[in-house]
Amino acid sequence: MKKKQIIIKGLLFIFVLVIFGNHIKVNAQNPPDNKTLVTIGDEAVTVGEFMHIYNKNNTQSSMQEPSSIEEYLDLFINFKLKVKEAVDLQLDTIGEFQKELAGYREQLAKPYFVDESVNEALLKEAYDRKLYDVRASHILIMVNENATPEDTLEAYNEITRIREEIVAGKDFGEAAIEYTDDPSARDREEIPGKQRYRKGNRGDLGYFTVFNMVYPFENAAYKTPVGQVSQTIRTRFGYHLVKVTDKKDALGVAEVAHIFVSLNPATTTPEDSASKQEKINNISQKIKEGMPFEDAVKQYSEDKGSARNDGKLSPFTCNRVVPEFVIAAQSLEVGEVSDPVKTLYGYHIIKLISRDTPGTFEEESEKLKERIKKDDRSHKSEDAVLQRIKAENKLKIYGKAKLALLAEIDTSLLNAAFKADTFATFIKPIMKIGKDKYSQYDFALYVEENQRKQTDIDKDVYLENLFAEFVNKNCLAFEDRNLEENYPEFKALMREYHDGILLFNLTDEKVWTKAVKDTTGLENYFSEHNDKYVWDDRVDATIYQIRNENDLEKVRAIVSENESDGDIARILDEDSIQSVKIIPGKFEKGDNQYIDRIEWKAGNLEEASSDVEKLVTIVKIKEVLPPQQKAFNEARGIATADYQGFLEEAWIKQLKEKYPVVINQEVLKQILASE
């Protein structure tokens, strides 16, 4: 199917260029669009239809010489004749055709379900955020995204109370330790043999940039001023408060090397810490006095893994390392070495190896578009389209009918055991979009078809989720069904694809495939027109291409002394000469540049060098051949093409007899007058 689709699209495009690719100017003196320009059988073609197709495609006509309006109209009529025949033969009712057209329609309809303005805004937003890194802390009160309204309200009230305490003066870090459901905020005690000690981050998430966090959290972080606490935000994890502590130019992707002196906060005494600090300071001083950084790594670094590679770490972005590393890397020039930097792991001396910062909007756009497609924010475009559909078509939900049905559905739903047949009498409308109504039973059927086994979700919440899906799918389906009515350009495009596929299928049957399969008819056509298939003057010659100039002298001698290409090939093989390509054949003027250069005289032998590659060519003329009749097999390709043209011409003649063509000359004159 894909191959055929490509062929059809190619043919449709070629048809557009040939039929409609002409620079014909039409001005206000044209007849009205609803005037009939031509009648084909019982079908009237208006000026509007004729000019719509032309006006849509004439911008693609730069490769076509302008032709007269009469020629253009003649080709258009031939096209319409073939399509009319296909429709009368009911080829558009065949299942394969309908499936193929439906596939095209699905693709053509996609742009109507995307809000490009939203997508453009998301792209611009993502780029603007990519230019900056944000450091933030958070407090999380977890609540399942499918929680009951009661549980959701309880979590919301809790996060609201916490925010009030912070606004009243409570330290954000202390509040995180006390209240958050994110365990990383609090110290994790060491359990020998089971877990290591880890110092809590007091809610500090470090630095991050666009796409590193779920979209609602990212929004809050980028929209909240530095030093302030956001309003309550909801993500799929629960409710958050976000405090932004820093915003700076983007680090991008950095690669560094480091010298490391470890420090274990759980076991290190003040004396040990002072000793470690003294050690890192002494190493730093040696580097400042001239010791190569790489030598210091090998001698002193306690990170044995990176020490084997001159201290190099894997390239990182701001969200992959502790904040101190981000700040240090951004403050350095390439090749510069930092003063000692303390992190929760110990002490580091950092050398910046490279740093790749974000490019221009044009450079980053394609990558950002791909990221947006895979991110939750991609649904904003779909949501905008849905809201427009609902508003324009006056979506109505019948609340009482909905609640009455939902109250009757039991928990068998959670085991995917719900059956809709017991609700066949529930026929009250539950939703309306445009003039289309859906009943309670329609929703019951949807529930039965789409139910899945559920755990840890309330039945009523699950039903509400299913109802939201039901409404959205019906709204999208309503819009899809009415695309042709609402968008004339889509209707016209579908007509073009409808006609184009029919044209392809019927022309393939009547002309292209028939000419290939009808061997007897093709041979008869060839016999009746064999005067068209004649060879011009030719030569029987051989071209010898030599790519190794060291072999040239030997090859020249072998070619001169032997007539048979077979003998020449054998001798070359015996002499282990592999650089020669032998090309025998019969050539007309224009077939080969080297053949054209040499005098056409039997026995003539000449050589030429290429001016663009290491190649020497020897040409040997064996015989000069006068013009002669082509054999059928020699002319089969061009004869087949001519036979196809013959079949098409005869077919068009039959169609014009079957469907008389009447051109409205007065209307045509008005169009011609404006040419």
Whether residue 642 contacts residue 529, with contact meaning beta carbons closer than 8 Å, is answered with yes
User: Is the domain of 141 the same as that of 237?
Assistant: yes
Whether residue 73 contacts residue 45, with contact meaning beta carbons closer than 8 Å, is answered with no
Whether residue 389 contacts residue 400, with contact meaning beta carbons closer than 8 Å, is answered with no
The residues with which 140 forms a beta bridge, in sequence order, are: 240
Residue range 183-195: average pLDDT? 86
Query: Would you say residue 24 has pLDDT above 80?
Result: no
User: Is the domain of 213 the same as that of 267?
Assistant: no
pLDDT band at 54 (very low <50, low <70, confident <90, very high): low
Distances (CA, A) of 135 to 234, 348, 546: 19, 21, 68
Domain assignment of residue 91, yes or no: no
Q: Is 306 helix (H, G, I), strand (E, B) or coil?
A: helix
How far apart CA 54 and CA 69 sit, in angstroms, is 11
Query: Would you say residue 443 has pLDDT above 80?
Result: yes
Closest CA to 3 of 129, 138, 100: 100
Domain assignment of residue 44, yes or no: no
pLDDT one-digit tens code per residue, 109-135:
999 999 999 999 999 999 999 999 999
User: Is the domain of 463 the same as that of 556?
Assistant: no
How far apart CA 526 and CA 631 sit, in angstroms, is 10
User: Is the domain of 477 the same as that of 410?
Assistant: yes
How far apart CA 1 and CA 4 sit, in angstroms, is 5
Domain assignment of residue 418, yes or no: yes
Q: Is 476 helix (H, G, I), strand (E, B) or coil?
A: helix
Given 629, 646, 665, the domain boundary residue is 629
Whether residue 352 contacts residue 333, with contact meaning beta carbons closer than 8 Å, is answered with yes
More confident position, 193 or 425: 425
Query: Would you say residue 656 has pLDDT above 80?
Result: yes
User: Is the domain of 241 the same as that of 150?
Assistant: yes
The residues with which 534 forms a beta bridge, in sequence order, are: 629
Query: Would you say residue 11 has pLDDT above 60?
Result: no
Q: Is 434 helix (H, G, I), strand (E, B) or coil?
A: coil
Given 337, 357, 377, the domain boundary residue is 357
Longest dimension (CA), the chain: 109
Domain assignment of residue 424, yes or no: yes
Q: Is 209 helix (H, G, I), strand (E, B) or coil?
A: coil
Distances (CA, A) of 603 to 542, 562, 586, 616, 621: 11, 12, 15, 19, 5
Closest CA to 137 of 227, 272, 47: 227
Task: Kindly report the number of other CB atoms within 10 A of residue 349's CB atom.
Answer: 26
Characterize the bridge pairing of strands 538-546 and 616-625. Answer: antiparallel
Of the listed ranges 209-213, 546-550, 608-612, the least confidently predicted one is: 608-612
In CATH, what number is assigned to the domain containing residue 272?
Answer: 3.10.50.40
Domain assignment of residue 458, yes or no: yes
pLDDT of residue 34: 86
pLDDT of residue 188: 87
Residue range 200-225: average pLDDT? 97
User: Is the domain of 257 the same as that of 164?
Assistant: no
CA angle 345, 350, 351 (to 5 degrees): 155
Whether residue 298 contacts residue 305, with contact meaning beta carbons closer than 8 Å, is answered with no
pLDDT of residue 418: 97
How far apart CA 622 and CA 600 sit, in angstroms, is 9
226, 231, 235, 240: CA torsion to nearest 10? 80
Domain assignment of residue 329, yes or no: yes
Characterize the bridge pairing of strands 253-262 and 346-356. Answer: antiparallel
Task: Kindly report the number of other CB atoms within 10 A of residue 256's CB atom.
Answer: 24
User: Is the domain of 189 the same as that of 265?
Assistant: no
pLDDT one-digit tens code per residue, 426-435:
999 999 999 9
Domain assignment of residue 194, yes or no: yes
How far apart CA 47 and CA 34 sit, in angstroms, is 6
Residue range 246-270: average pLDDT? 91
End-to-end CA distance of the chain: 42
Whether residue 186 contacts residue 200, with contact meaning beta carbons closer than 8 Å, is answered with yes
Residue range 307-334: average pLDDT? 96
Whether residue 172 contacts residue 137, with contact meaning beta carbons closer than 8 Å, is answered with yes
pLDDT of residue 537: 94
Q: Is this prediction's pTM over 0.85?
A: no
Q: What is the DSSP letter of 232?
A: P
pLDDT of residue 191: 81
User: Is the domain of 203 the same as that of 303?
Assistant: no
Strand-by-strand arrangement of the 605-609 sheet: 580-588, 538-546, 616-625, 605-609
User: Is the domain of 243 the same as that of 319?
Assistant: no
Domain count, the chain: 4
User: Is the domain of 239 the same as that of 146?
Assistant: yes
pLDDT of residue 392: 97
pLDDT of residue 504: 94
Closest CA to 30 of 66, 54, 64: 54
Given 249, 276, 308, the domain boundary residue is 249
pLDDT one-digit tens code per residue, 507-560:
999 999 999 999 999 999 999 999 999 999 999 999 999 999 899 999 999 999
In CATH, what number is assigned to the domain containing residue 583?
Answer: 3.10.50
Query: Would you say residue 268 has pLDDT above 80?
Result: no
String of b and e for 435-464 (b: at least 16 CB within 10 Å)?
A: eeebbbbbbbbbbbeebeebeeebbebbbe
Residue with tokens 């947006």: 372
Q: Where are the alpha helices (DSSP H) in 233-311?
A: 270-288, 293-300, 304-307
The token pair at 32 is 């009205």
Closest CA to 328 of 351, 307, 302: 351
List the domain range (segments joined by +) for residue 332: 253-357
Task: Kindly report the number of other CB atoms within 10 A of residue 645's CB atom.
Answer: 12
Percentage, residues of the chain above pLDDT 70: 93
238 backbone φψ class: left, alpha, beta (φ>0; ψ -120 to 50): left
State the burial class of residue 488 (Cβ atoms within 10 Å of its Cβ: 0-12, 13-18, 19+): exposed
How far apart CA 537 and CA 272 sit, in angstroms, is 99
More confident position, 631 or 25: 631
User: Is the domain of 144 the same as that of 196?
Assistant: yes
User: Is the domain of 232 the same as that of 257?
Assistant: no
pLDDT, averaged across the chain? 91
Query: Would you say residue 198 has pLDDT above 70?
Result: yes
Whether residue 91 contacts residue 506, with contact meaning beta carbons closer than 8 Å, is answered with yes
Q: Where are the alpha helices (DSSP H) in 343-458?
A: 361-373, 379-392, 399-408, 440-450
At position 443, the amino acid (one-letter code) is F
How far apart CA 205 and CA 203 sit, in angstroms, is 6
How far apart CA 135 and CA 123 sit, in angstroms, is 22
How far apart CA 590 and CA 539 sit, in angstroms, is 12
What is the DSSP track for 164-205? HHHHTT--HHHHHHHH-S-GGGS-B--BTTTB--B---TTEE
The residues with which 431 forms a beta bridge, in sequence order, are: 397, 438
pLDDT of residue 6: 43
State the burial class of residue 151 (Cβ atoms within 10 Å of its Cβ: 0-12, 13-18, 19+): middle
The residues with which 346 forms a beta bridge, in sequence order, are: 262, 343
How far apart CA 636 and CA 630 sit, in angstroms, is 10
pLDDT of residue 414: 96
Domain assignment of residue 291, yes or no: yes
Residue range 157-164: average pLDDT? 97
Characterize the bridge pairing of strands 605-609 and 616-625. Answer: antiparallel
